[in-house]
């Protein structure tokens, strides 16, 4: 399967590990990621705050490039923020002919034109679980992550607001949980799975940002997660690089490594930690990873109603029903 | 486009859904373009393509056919028959040089006064942009004209 | 004692192929009876008359005038007015005169495009100077005038009042014979005013021997695409047979030989537009869209139905093969540069 | 040129029309239209004076056609037809132009409105000239009635009709009648015990000679029309012989298989594989749920059969298909409660101590799974703090836009019951608006306020078990904005109750199709008129009652049940109804037997005569949609009151002002 | 609101905000339920909850609304947007308010006055390189606006460098001229500078 690939600024450097591991797993899974030539920044969450039309134009240039370079009608973005901006621009241009016209007038200044809908933007997680599928992934697992307690952390923009079409529940996503289970990991309940990592608040109000990060770390710790798995460079940065600051700020001592889901896939596929960029994280992942293969009995807080004799039945969830 | 031009739309409304939707739009005082002139039929399936052509020839700039949503037709599936005819008629009108916007089929349930009002507004806007049809004058008119054909005029196009 | 004056007969040929004339001669020896019964006052195709002769006649001099051919140019129209003036009974004879027929199909394009096709674009035409017929041409001797080519083809009744219409392309010889008999033997004709003579009052299906069942059409076929079952209604097999919307009188000639009815006898009483009625009729019996509808995806349904309709190539040309000039819209509309689109 | 003498009457409707349309101008202009002999405008045409005006003109001026330009024909067509009839003019020689709903009320552009009014009047005038005198078709009413749904609305309707001495078939999908009301504990605001007031009525149904109760049954097909419906009902196999069963209940005690009762106990309690939803069930006969019955699943057990004293258990029993002949139908199919699993952030299904309001009703019910004890999911712990969340799945465009109308009140009731049963518990009500809009509701609200419930204005954002702050561990944390303070807050509680709203039945659209009804966007059935005809439907002979028409509380449902019954009774006592003569007719002379029309009739009213090779419309079955009329390629089918001539003339009239009406074919005038 | 509900009077502040937001944000629908305020991850630290802010807008209290730190504390998590029972595009409205605050110079009053500076610094790099440049961003922004923090942030920056997670020099895209042409045209069209 051939896809256009939009790494986004983060994956060039600060999230290079994400890029490396993505490539490392893409190969075996038959995902051919072809980077679009000369792409530019998506504007993150900043550009829309300053100036509307240029913000759309900035993103639209990438869409236009993807469209013209004709690698594939699908464009994969591993970064949730990029994913949002690309899908949002495409969607809004489609919904508002006026906006489409303006953006295209701007693009014309650079000799480009983008027809809304001509490129379908997808998140890396989406294509791995939906285009490749759990079975194929399972087939590649040579070193199951047995015993590794992982908190699947989705963050916001991959599931909300769903401009690119909803591929998982915006409030309680589960696809990464399934994926990690396929890898053999023990996926812990993680109620805050889709809560915000603080985004750019680290730059604006550290108090606010640190509190958001703390909540997530606490929740992961409560469920005794060895590792937090992420799908977004921003989430990784905030939870990982700022973990020390948070500890300092709240007098806590969290030491939870934050890895990209692709890194965990790579490990399960038997790739070497090095080629997966493991070691670039601030909170050392090695102690946690040393557990792999060693089944540690869980004593994490159970979250189901005690099945005592008097106990009242629990309402069943969709998945249990089917 | 001459702004003084106001399109005239002949609307065929089915008795059970769309006509009641129009009634509801009125009772709830939804103001919409006064350009649609309503004709009540029992079901959108009663609307003959003949009626549409007749309206267009007699000077309508557009024709709106409104019925119940598929699955909600008072006569089970009359609206599906209307839809089938509309799809074929549309293709024939294309050949006769009539823009697609001039003949439209919409679904409006009895509770959807706003849907009907919006449809009329939308269509009125589209027809404003398209300009008048005025079939007799612009298409048939000038009976027995003595036009001369200048070979230059034609050869230029050749 | 003067011999009783024979009634006067005229037959004129405007924009048409001449088939009507041949069909008239096809009535066989009855033609002699016609000769017996009438004095021919004007019949360019069989005897040498000049327009001057006709202009010389007193008004209403001609008792029966069969006018075939459509009104394509100014000459056709002038003759129509002249013959109307000079005739007691004016019959729009054949499909061209009564509804425009094949010439009428040019109403799906512009006069200009028609001329261009004939004088410029036609591969067998050698016209380096790109000369086109001009109504008025100056020559040393003065100005030469030829008929003006009209923008659209009209039926006879669109330029003069018509007493009777005799449909068909051409009218079947036996039909002509019966009408002639009637006229000669003085059987009273129906009240004049575009009344139909020499044809049936029900659709072709009445005369068609094929087995007719409840209709559920999956898709349409052009005649060359399938070999139809010779026993079963062609329409049921997806062939766009116009028989259901066409006046009988021909004896269902085409369907009898596995060919779809093309509709030359025109629409039935009470039908204003043959094509529109075909649309209504056959679109209604498409299979697509039957079945449970609750919670159906409306756009998807419309798309599926549309796909079936796409298999019906050139609806206008098919439904209006003979009736275009006499249909409700009468011709296609051109807002510029759409000639190709229009000319199906 | 036609000889008809037309009278035109333009109504002011006070200022409703005259406010936007220049009515005098329209009527003066109409006077100049061909065939119009008189044209008047009047304040209220529908008033007796207005009608007398018309009658007088018909008699004195010899009008042969009448046009009234006023409101919607759905409003007053019948009125003016009657007017014409009184003056000796066939009622169908009348036409109405709707210049109110479709004109004066839909715009404020006086010029455009007046022009549109003229168009509609000229259209009506040209049309009415082509009208033909028609006679209404009398239809005799079968005195039997079908009632679908045995909730409180259906029960009420059934008893009203049966007590009037007519026969009723009451079809109920579940094993017992009673509906949602039977599940409730107390009813607001009076706090009577729901079961105590309902069961007597249920017993009346069981004992009433005029009622045939078909429980555990569903309607599959409805054919025919008002007065003469044929209804196909599937009576599902109970596997219990109703002749022999005494309802002693031994089989239930002996049944070894216990399953969660998703229906009556709302998933909070258990029942056996052979069961009776609740002790006072009507009918008293149990049913075997084959999906969980050990015998049906594994082929052995038969405990029930072994212990049944009357050998009533019959594993061989088959579904029965019944054909019922009825004249009227009342639909009282009720509602479904919103499934809060659709709002994951409220945690229902994931967080043990989040309950739905229906679960709570069962919990507080003395006959319920906990015998009325208010406890957490563990079945023992009594909650010390309870949050009740309003508008769950209601007033929310993502789920149901409508307000479910009952949640506010039952939530208040819950507060009261909590205070009563767990005096030291702190109760919080999270609301957007408190809607206490009926008799004694507001008073009840005040009472609950005084009982110490804390009301917090703010729609809850999420319920989580992820502790963030000290004191939150092991609790459910409700996160919300206190909108009156303007601050985001977190509140740890032991129990959360979701006040779920009312929705249309999941299968309401399918049901609507079976009975030929319309559905609102949200699936509730559409009434004929929201104000003036709330229980009647667009389909003659079919009434709707209760929450299948929209969210409502018990009193309204009961009132509607009775109203529907009154409707039915008036039809039965009339014996016959007159039906619109809008029907299709095939002119055998013109029919070529092409058979295009044969499969177009949804009521199979068109038959083909092989011998004569012509098709024919069975008038009694025809409903007048006109699908066949439009389809007939040789114009052999005539649609009474909607003929081609009439519609074509109407089209010309509508376009009177658009362009000169050049003659398209030359006339005699040379 | 149909195209026919025309009005002569000057637009209210609410109408302005709606007009300056792409698509149909439906802010006029707000029923003040507070779902947004309850859902917002940074809601506890906002001067006004989103709902509160909308009340100010509806009341036409322009200055108070545009001086509020609320939009700047929005982390674009879209919880409010997906949960809003009236389907109001809240996140988009926040972006609009940020732009209005900048255009009308109100943000300098805001307690979050640094935020726009951060955004600006960020896009300065994007506009001159086509890609973002974390080191540059961090240093430029922190040194310029929060020198004290810069010190606190130093160890992290070093850590980033040590782990090869930060470049010392910005990457420039080839088509930077093209990009700038596009952005300039867009600014010209957008009217906002």
pLDDT of residue D666: 59
Computed over every residue of chain A, the mean pLDDT equals 89
Q: Looking at the complex, report in whole angstroms how far the Cα of residue D389 sits from the nearest Cα belonging to chain E.
A: 12
Residue D262 main-chain phi, psi, to 5 deg: -75, -20
Kind of pairing, strands D606-609 and D542-544? unpaired
Element (H, E) at D139: strand D137-140
Q: Which chain A residues in 188-247 lie under 8 Å from chain E, judged by CB atoms? A: 195-196, 198-201, 203-208, 211-212, 241-242, 244-245
Nearest CB to D461 within list E39, E52, E86? E39
Q: Measure the CA–CA gap between A18 and A261, rounded to whole angstroms.
A: 9
Looking at D62-138, list the stretches that DSSP marks H as alpha helix, in order from N- to C-terminal side. Answer: 73-86, 110-129
Q: Measure the CA–CA gap between D154 and E183, rounded to whole angstroms.
A: 67
pLDDT tens-place string over residues C111-161: 889 999 999 988 888 899 888 888 888 889 999 889 999 989 999 999 999
Q: Give contacts of C319 with chain D, Cβ < 8 Å.
A: none
Supply the DSSP symbol for C245.
G
Contact criterion met (CB below 8 Å) for E74 and E91:
yes
Among candidates D110, D189, D69, D666, which has minimal Cα distance to D444? D189
Kindly report the three-state secondary structure assignment for every residue of D397-460: CCCCCCCCCCHHHHHHHHHHHHHHHCCCCEEEEEECCCCCCCCCHHHHHHHHHHCCCEEEECCC
D and A touch with 3+ CB pairs <8 Å, answer: yes
Contact criterion met (CB below 8 Å) for B20 and D89:
no
pLDDT of residue C3: 59
Size of interface D-E (CB pairs under 8 A): 73
pLDDT of residue A319: 56
pLDDT tens-place string over residues E64-96: 999 999 999 999 999 999 999 999 999 999 999
Average pLDDT of A85-100? 90
Quick count: other Cβ atoms within 10 Å of Cβ E158? Answer: 11
Residue E168, CA distances (Å) to A234, E123, E142 in order: 20, 18, 16
- E-contacting chains (≥3 CB pairs under 8 Å): A, B, D
Q: Is the pLDDT of residue D277 over 70?
A: yes
Q: Measure the CA–CA gap between C29 and C68, rounded to whole angstroms.
A: 22
Q: Is A228 helix (H, G, I), strand (E, B) or coil?
A: strand
Average pLDDT of A215-226? 94
pLDDT of residue D105: 97
Residue E164 main-chain phi, psi, to 5 deg: 60, 30
pLDDT of residue D660: 60
pLDDT of residue E192: 43
- The answer to whether A51 faces chain E, any CB pair under 8 Å, is yes
pLDDT of residue E147: 65
pLDDT tier, E3 (very low <50, low <70, confident <90, very high otherwise): very low
pLDDT tens-place string over residues D546-603: 999 999 999 999 999 999 999 999 999 999 998 889 999 999 999 999 999 999 998 8
Instruction: Work out the widest C-alpha separation in chain A, in whole angstroms.
Output: 73
pLDDT tier, C298 (very low <50, low <70, confident <90, very high otherwise): confident
Computed over every residue of chain E, the mean pLDDT equals 84
Q: Which residue of D has its CA nearest to C154?
A: D665
Residues 6 or more apart in contact with residue A226 via CB below 8 angstroms: A148, A149, A150, A256, A257, A288, A291
Q: Is the pLDDT of residue D455 over 50?
A: yes
pLDDT of residue A293: 54
Average pLDDT of B41-51? 97
Higher pLDDT, C51 or B71: C51
Q: Measure the CA–CA gap between A201 and E72, rounded to whole angstroms.
A: 9
- The answer to whether E25 faces chain D, any CB pair under 8 Å, is no
pTM: 0.77
Q: Measure the CA–CA gap between A81 and A44, rounded to whole angstroms.
A: 6
Say which residue the tokens 């067509």 belong to.
D77
Quick count: other Cβ atoms within 10 Å of Cβ E25? Answer: 21
Q: Which residue of C has its CA nearest to B54?
A: C328
Q: Do B135 and C333 touch (CB under 8 A)?
A: yes
pLDDT of residue B156: 35
Residue E112, CA distances (Å) to A188, A213, C108, E67 in order: 37, 20, 69, 9
Q: Give contacts of A39 with chain E, Cβ < 8 Å.
A: 173
pLDDT tens-place string over residues B129-158: 999 998 988 888 754 343 444 334 333 333
What dihedral angle (degrees, nearest 10) is formed by the CA atoms of C116, C118, C124, C129?
-50
Supply the DSSP symbol for C221.
B
| ipTM surpassing 0.85 | no
End-to-end CA, chain C: 64
List the single best residue of C216, C268, C326 to mutate versus D (max D Cβ within 10 A).
Answer: C268
pLDDT of residue A119: 93
C and D touch with 3+ CB pairs <8 Å, answer: yes
Q: Measure the CA–CA gap between A305 and A287, rounded to whole angstroms.
A: 33
Q: Measure the CA–CA gap between A32 and E145, rounded to whole angstroms.
A: 43
pLDDT tens-place string over residues E124-140: 888 888 888 777 676 66
| CA D593-D597-D599 angle, 5° bins | 120
pLDDT of residue E124: 86
Q: Which residue of D has its CA nearest to B81?
A: D627
Average pLDDT of D221-228? 88
Q: Is the pLDDT of residue B75 over 90?
A: no
- The answer to whether C319 faces chain B, any CB pair under 8 Å, is yes
| CA B120-B121-B122 angle, 5° bins | 95
pLDDT of residue B147: 40
pLDDT tens-place string over residues B17-31: 999 999 999 999 999
Q: Do E2 and B125 touch (CB under 8 A)?
A: no
Q: Looking at the complex, report in whole angstroms how far the Cα of residue E154 sits from the nearest Cα belonging to chain D.
A: 30
Average pLDDT of D208-229? 94
pLDDT of residue E148: 60
Element (H, E) at C71: strand C71-73
């Amino acid at each position: 399967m051939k896809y256009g690939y939009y790494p986004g600024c983060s994956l060039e450097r600060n999230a290079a590990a994400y890029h490396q591991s993505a490539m490392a797993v893409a190969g075996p899974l038959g995902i051919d990621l072809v980077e679009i030539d000369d792409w530019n920044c998506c504007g993150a969450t900043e550009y829309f705050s300053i100036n509307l039309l240029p913000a759309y134009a900035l993103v639209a240039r990438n869409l236009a490039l993807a469209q013209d370079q004709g690698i594939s009608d699908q464009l994969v973005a591993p970064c949730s923020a990029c994913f949002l901006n690309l899908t949002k621009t495409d969607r809004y241009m489609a919904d508002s002919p006026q906006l489409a016209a303006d953006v295209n007038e701007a693009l014309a200044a650079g000799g480009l034109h983008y027809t809304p809908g001509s490129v379908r933007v997808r998140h890396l997680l989406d294509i791995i679980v939906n285009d490749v599928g759990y079975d194929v992934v399972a087939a590649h697992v040579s070193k199951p992550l047995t015993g590794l307690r992982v908190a699947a952390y989705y963050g916001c923009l991959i599931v909300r607001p769903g401009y690119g079409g909803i591929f998982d529940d915006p409030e309680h996503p589960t696809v990464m949980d399934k994926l990690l289970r396929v890898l053999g990991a023990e996926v812990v309940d993680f109620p805050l799975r889709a809560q915000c990592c603080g985004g750019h608040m680290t730059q604006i109000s550290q108090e606010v940002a640190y509190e958001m990060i703390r909540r997530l770390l606490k929740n992961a710790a409560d469920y005794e997660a060895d590792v937090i798995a992420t799908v977004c460079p921003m989430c990784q940065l905030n939870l990982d690089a700022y973990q020390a600051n948070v500890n300092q700020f709240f007098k806590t001592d969290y030491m939870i490594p934050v890895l990209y889901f692709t890194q965990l896939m790579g490990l399960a596929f038997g790739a070497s930690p090095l080629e997966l960029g493991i070691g670039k994280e601030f909170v050392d992942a090695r102690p946690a990873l040393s557990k792999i293969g060693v089944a540690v009995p869980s004593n994490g807080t159970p979250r189901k109603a005690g099945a005592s004799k008097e106990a009242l039945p629990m309402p069943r969830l969709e998945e249990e029903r089917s | 486009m001459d702004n003084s031009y106001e399109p005239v739309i002949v609307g065929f409304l089915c008795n059970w859904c769309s006509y009641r939707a129009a009634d509801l739009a009125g009772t709830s005082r939804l103001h919409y373009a006064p350009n649609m002139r309503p004709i009540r039929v029992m079901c959108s399936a009663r609307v003959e393509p003949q009626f549409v052509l007749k309206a267009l020839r007699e000077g309508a700039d557009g024709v709106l056919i409104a019925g119940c949503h598929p699955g909600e037709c008072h006569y089970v599936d009359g609206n599906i028959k209307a839809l089938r005819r509309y799809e074929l008629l549309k293709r024939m009108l294309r050949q006769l040089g009539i823009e697609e916007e001039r003949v439209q089929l919409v679904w409006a349930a009895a509770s959807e006064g706003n849907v009907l009002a919006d449809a009329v507004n939308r269509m009125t806007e589209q027809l404003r942009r398209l300009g008048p049809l005025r079939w007799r004058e612009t298409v048939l008119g000038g009976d027995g004209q003595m036009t001369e054909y200048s070979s230059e005029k034609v050869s230029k196009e050749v | 004692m003067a011999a009783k004056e024979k009634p006067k007969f005229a037959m004129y040929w405007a924009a048409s192929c001449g088939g009507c004339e041949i069909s008239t001669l096809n009535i066989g020896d009855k033609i002699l009876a016609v000769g017996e019964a009438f004095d021919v006052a004007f019949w360019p195709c069989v005897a040498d008359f000049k327009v001057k002769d006709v202009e010389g006649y007193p008004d209403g001099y001609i008792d029966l005038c069969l006018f075939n051919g459509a009104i394509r140019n100014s000459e056709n129209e002038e003759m129509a007015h002249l013959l109307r003036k000079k005739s007691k009974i004016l019959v729009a004879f054949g499909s061209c005169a009564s509804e425009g027929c094949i010439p009428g199909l040019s109403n799906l394009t512009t006069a200009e495009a028609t001329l261009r096709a004939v004088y410029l674009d036609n591969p067998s035409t050698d016209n380096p100077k790109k000369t086109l017929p001009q109504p008025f041409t100056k020559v040393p001797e003065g100005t030469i005038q030829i008929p003006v080519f009209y923008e659209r083809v009209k039926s006879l009744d669109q330029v003069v009042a018509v007493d009777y219409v005799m449909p068909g392309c051409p009218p079947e010889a036996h039909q002509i014979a019966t009408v002639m008999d009637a006229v000669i033997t003085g059987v009273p004709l129906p009240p004049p005013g575009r009344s139909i003579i020499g044809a049936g009052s029900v659709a072709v299906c009445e005369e068609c021997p094929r087995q007719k069942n409840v209709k559920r059409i999956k898709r349409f076929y052009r005649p060359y695409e399938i070999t139809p079952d010779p026993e079963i209604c062609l329409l049921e097999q997806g062939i766009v047979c116009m028989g259901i919307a066409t006046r009988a009188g021909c004896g269902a000639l085409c369907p009898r030989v596995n060919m779809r009815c093309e509709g030359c006898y025109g629409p039935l009483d009470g039908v204003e537009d043959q094509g529109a009625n075909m649309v209504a009729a056959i679109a209604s019996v498409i299979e697509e869209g039957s079945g449970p509808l609750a919670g159906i995806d409306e756009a998807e349904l419309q798309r599926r139905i549309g796909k079936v309709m796409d298999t019906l190539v050139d609806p206008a040309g098919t439904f209006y093969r003979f009736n275009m000039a006499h249909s409700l819209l009468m011709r296609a509309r051109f807002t510029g540069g759409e000639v190709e689109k229009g000319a199906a | 040129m036609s000889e008809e003498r037309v009278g035109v009457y333009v109504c002011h409707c006070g200022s409703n029309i005259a406010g936007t349309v220049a009515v005098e101008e329209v009527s003066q202009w109409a006077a100049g239209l061909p065939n119009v002999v008189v044209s008047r405008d009047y304040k209220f045409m529908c008033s007796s004076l207005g009608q007398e005006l018309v009658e007088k003109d018909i008699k004195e001026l010899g009008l042969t056609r009448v046009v009234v330009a006023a409101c919607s024909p759905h409003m007053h067509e019948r009125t003016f037809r009657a007017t014409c009839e009184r003056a000796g003019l066939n009622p169908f020689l009348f036409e109405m132009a709707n210049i109110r709903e479709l004109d004066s009320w839909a715009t404020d552009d006086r010029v455009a409105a007046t022009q549109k009014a003229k168009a509609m009047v000229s259209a009506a005038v040209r049309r009415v000239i082509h009208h033909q005198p028609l006679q209404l078709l009398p239809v005799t009413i079968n005195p039997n009635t079908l009632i679908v749904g045995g909730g409180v609305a259906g029960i009420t309707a059934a008893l009203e009709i049966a007590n009037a001495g007519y026969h009723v078939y009451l079809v109920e999908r579940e094993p017992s009648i009673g509906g949602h009301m039977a599940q409730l504990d107390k009813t607001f605001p009076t706090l009577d015990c729901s079961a105590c007031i309902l069961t007597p009525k249920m017993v009346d149904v069981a004992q009433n000679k005029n009622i045939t109760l078909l429980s555990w049954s569903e309607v599959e097909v409805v054919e025919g029309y008002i007065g003469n419906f044929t209804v196909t009902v599937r009576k599902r196999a109970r596997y219990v012989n109703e002749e022999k069963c005494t309802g002693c209940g031994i089989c239930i005690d002996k049944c070894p298989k216990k399953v969660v009762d998703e229906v009556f106990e709302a998933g909070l309690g258990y029942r056996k594989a052979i069961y009776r939803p609740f002790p006072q069930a009507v009918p008293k006969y149990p049913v075997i749920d084959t999906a969980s019955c050990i015998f049906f699943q594994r082929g052995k057990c038969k405990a029930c059969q072994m212990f049944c004293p009357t050998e009533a258990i019959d594993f061989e029993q088959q579904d029965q298909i019944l054909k019922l002949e009825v004249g009227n139908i009342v639909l009282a199919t009720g509602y479904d409660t919103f499934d809060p699993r659709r709002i994951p952030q409220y945690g229902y299904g994931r967080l043990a101590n989040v309950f739905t309001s229906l679960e709570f009703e069962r919990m507080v019910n003395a006959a319920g799974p906990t015998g009325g004890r208010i406890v957490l999911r563990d079945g023992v712990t009594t909650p010390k703090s309870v949050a009740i969340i309003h508008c769950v799945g209601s007033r929310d465009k993502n789920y149901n836009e409508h307000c479910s109308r009952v949640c506010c009140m039952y939530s208040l009731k819950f507060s009261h019951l909590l205070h009563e049963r767990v005096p030291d518990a702190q109760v919080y009500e999270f609301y957007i608006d408190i809607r206490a809009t009926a008799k004694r509701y507001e008073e009840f609200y005040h009472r609950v306020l005084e009982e110490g419930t804390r009301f917090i204005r703010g729609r809850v954002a999420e319920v989580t078990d992820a502790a963030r702050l000290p004191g939150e561990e092991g609790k459910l944390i409700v996160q919300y904005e206190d909108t009156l303070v303007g601050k985001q807050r977190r509140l740890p509680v032991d129990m959360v109750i979701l006040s779920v709203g009312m929705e249309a039945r999941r299968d309401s659209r399918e049901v609507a199709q079976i009975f030929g009804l319309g559905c609102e966007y949200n699936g509730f059935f559409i009434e004929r008129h929201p104000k003036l005809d709330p229980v009647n439907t667009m389909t003659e002979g079919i009434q709707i009652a209760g929450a299948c028409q929209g969210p409502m509380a018990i009193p309204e449902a009961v009132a509607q049940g009775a109203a529907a019954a009154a409707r039915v009774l008036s039809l039965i006592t009339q014996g016959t109804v007159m039906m619109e003569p809008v029907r299709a007719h095939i002119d055998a002379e013109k029919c070529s037997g092409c058979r295009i029309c044969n499969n177009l009739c949804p009521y199979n009213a068109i038959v083909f005569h092989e011998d004569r090779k012509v098709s024919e419309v069975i008038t009694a079955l025809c409903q007048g949609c006109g699908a066949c009329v439009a389809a007939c390629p040789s114009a052999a089918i005539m649609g009474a009151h909607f003929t081609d001539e009439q519609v074509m003339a109407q089209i010309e009239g509508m376009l009177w002002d658009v362009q000169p009406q050049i003659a398209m074919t030359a006339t005699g005038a040379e | 609101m149909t195209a026919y509900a025309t009005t002569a009077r000057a637009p209210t502040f609410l109408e302005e905000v709606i007009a300056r937001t792409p698509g149909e944000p439906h802010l006029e629908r707000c029923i003040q339920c507070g779902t947004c305020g309850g859902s917002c991850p940074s809601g506890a630290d906002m001067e006004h909850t989103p709902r509160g802010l909308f009340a100010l807008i509806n009341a036409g209290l322009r200055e108070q609304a545009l001086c509020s730190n609320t939009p700047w504390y929005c982390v674009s998590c879209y919880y409010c947007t997906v949960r809003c029972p009236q389907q109001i595009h809240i996140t988009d409205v926040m972006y609009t308010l940020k732009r209005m605050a900048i255009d009308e110079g109100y943000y300098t009053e805001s307690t979050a006055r640094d935020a726009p500076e951060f955004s600006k610094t960020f896009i300065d790099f994007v506009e001159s390189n086509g890609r973002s440049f974390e080191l540059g961003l961090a240093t430029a922004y922190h040194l310029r606006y929060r020198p004290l923090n810069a010190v606190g942030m130093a160890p992290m920056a070093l850590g980033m460098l040590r782990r090869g997670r930060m470049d010392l020099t910005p990457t420039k895209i080839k088509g930077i001229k093209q990009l700038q042409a596009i952005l300039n045209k867009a600014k010209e069209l957008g009217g906002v500078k």
